[in-house]
Amino acid sequence: MSATRRGVLLTCSLAALLVVGCKGRTAPNAAKEWTPSPGDLVMGVPIGDVTSSIQAQLATRPESVPADRWRHIKQLYTTYGNVPLWLEKDGFSQSRSKALLRAVVDVRTDALRLDGYPLDELVATVGAVQATKQASATQLANADVLLTATYVELAEDLLTGQVDPKSIEQDWHIAVGHEPIDSAVARSLRDPQLDSAIARMRPRDADYDALRRSLVRFQSIVAGGGWAVVPAGKALKPRQADKPARIAALRERLRVEGFGAPGGASGAASDVAPSGAAGANVYNTELAGLVADFQARHGIAVDSALGAETMQSLNVPAQYRLAQIAANLERYRWLPRSFGGRYIIVNVPAFRLEAHDSTSTLEMKVIVGEEFEGKTTPVFADSMETVVFRPYWNITPDIQEKETEPKIAEDSKYMEANDLEYFKDGGETRIRQKPGPKNSLGLVKFLFPNAFNIYLHDTPDDALFAKDVRAFSHGCIRLEKPDELAQWVLGWEPARVDSAMQQGTDNQSTKLAKKIPVYIVYATAYERDGQLYFGNDLYSRDAALVKAVSGSIAPTETALRSLEALRKLVQD
């Protein structure tokens, strides 16, 4: 809104703002039980006095409130005519102010930092008004503006997150997608169920809700002391013997995180070590099965053995796992609130693609970029436009110079053996691979033009999909089921797709009738099939974000006491 327009609104009379907006427009009413009129009283104080005090409060921004947030606060009051947003004739609106304070009490279930909220000030200011029957206009205005500031802060945190993604992850290129704060908070205040309006500010994704539930579970684990370290020792394969204390510690460690029942089973009769040892000192098949489950859900190659990588993951503290969950809830808040009715999403650390529409989900394994600089798969979003069957692979100048040309220099038959040929690209001589079964892109590729030259494609190296950790590409994404994705994208029958891939025209492009959004994301804690997974942090991006959100998982004792005081205030 322009400064001129704001000035016009502010010069309108109180009566006009309460009844008719400037230029004859009806001013929006907050959805509450009481709509103030010029002669009304708020706890015995004339509404005009409260409004004047609110305007005086808004004249100077407190140093503790960021300029952008203060602008949102002032805009919200302007929208509603500078009348109290949280007060009624007899005090605070039970349906609105209590809903807001309940949401603040529960911010830890979204992994939001407590230090961002004025907990002590809320307890003191709101409590003082609740405790008196003779509040002043200044007290009422202070309390109302404080609640509004808290609400705007909560809306910002839920809609955009508490951390600027570009300050943490330089390779994150998805714009934070949300309704503008001004309109979001103004619209939500018209909702008669503010609890529901606040809930809708969260990412509308079942996976986000599931991750919130895991957050609460891990908060409980951490509050209970976490889990003990599994003692160092030799690598173990199923049916091998070890010290009973180490076997017991391993079983208990797994149980605390949710793998296996208390005490565990003793194993089958055949679970006897070659040495003849049996029972409490044997790494039996039942326990090895729990370790295999642990490996599958922690980004480790599944071999059922208790090796170095598995031991390292087992001994990651529970508090760090809790912080990972918090970090990934923050990543969810960075994403658009709606992906569209039909979209494709790739989670790089999960090595997995999902294609969603209103009726079904297609899932498959993928291979992503290596962890080395220049080969990582970036986080970004764009729209798929074209499917190319039997494509050429135009080798990039960087790969041509560093990899292909040295091999050609070493082996005079390398080009022929790999179906390579030279071609002119402008005035530059380039190398490409001919269409066919040897082509590194396989028999189909899916293009969604982007600044990173990343696309989805088939691959002749199917054996790599048998591996659990699949980071082998130069950045592009190889598909386990390219034919099924082509069927899903184009709506073609399997036989038609197979014909285009096997006998079709080389380098045949098919334009999509409607573009399909594609999202490449990076989530290292996520839910699948009702289970929590910790993905492989391929590109070492968790540490900085975990540090940034650490205040949400390890609040100070002072903050927790303040939170409890606010909880009691809400319950009174």
Predicted confidence (pLDDT) per residue in 47-85, tens digit: 999 999 999 999 999 998 999 999 999 999 999 888 999
Pairing of strands 477-479, 456-457: parallel
Residue 476 annotated among the catalytic residues of the structure: yes
Set 72, 178, 457, 474: catalytic member: 457
State the chain's mean pLDDT as an integer: 89
User: Over the stretch 210-220, which tens digit does the pLDDT of each residue have?
Assistant: 999 999 999 99
Q: What is the pLDDT of residue 6?
A: 31
Helix axes 47-58, 67-79, angle to 10 degrees: 150
Predicted confidence (pLDDT) at residue 276 exceeds the cutoff of 80:
no
Contacts of 440 (CB under 8 A, 6+ apart): 393, 433, 459, 460
Predicted confidence (pLDDT) at residue 94 exceeds the cutoff of 80:
no
Query: DSSP letters along 255-314, please?
Result: HHHTSS-SS-----TT-B-TTS-BSTTEE-HHHHHHHHHHHHTTT----S-B-HHHHHHH
Among 172-186, 349-363, 532-546, the least confident range = 172-186
Q: What is the pLDDT of residue 261?
A: 59
Among 2-6, 128-132, 278-282, 352-356, the least confident range = 2-6
Pick 39 or 172 by higher pLDDT: 172
Whether 366 and 346 have beta carbons less than 8 Å apart is answered as: yes
Q: Once rounded to an integer, what is the mean pLDDT over residues 3-22? A: 33
pTM of the model: 0.88
Residue 457 annotated among the catalytic residues of the structure: yes
Contacts of 380 (CB under 8 A, 6+ apart): 173, 174, 450, 451, 452, 454, 520
User: Over the stretch 224-271, which tens digit does the pLDDT of each residue have?
Assistant: 999 999 999 999 999 999 999 999 999 999 999 999 855 444 444 344
Contacts of 241 (CB under 8 A, 6+ apart): 273, 275, 277, 281, 282, 283
What is the Cα–Cα distance from 467 to 436, expressed in whole angstroms? 25
Q: What is the pLDDT of residue 17?
A: 31
Set 72, 178, 474, 476: catalytic member: 476
User: Over the stretch 399-421, which tens digit does the pLDDT of each residue have?
Assistant: 999 999 999 999 999 999 999 99
Q: What is the pLDDT of residue 553?
A: 80
Q: What is the pLDDT of residue 1?
A: 35
Q: What is the pLDDT of residue 16?
A: 34
Give the domains, in start order, of the chain with CATH numbers: 3-202+555-571 (no CATH), 227-316 (1.10.101.10), 322-531 (2.40.440.10)
Q: What is the pLDDT of residue 30?
A: 52
User: Over the stretch 329-349, which tens digit does the pLDDT of each residue have?
Assistant: 999 999 998 898 999 999 999
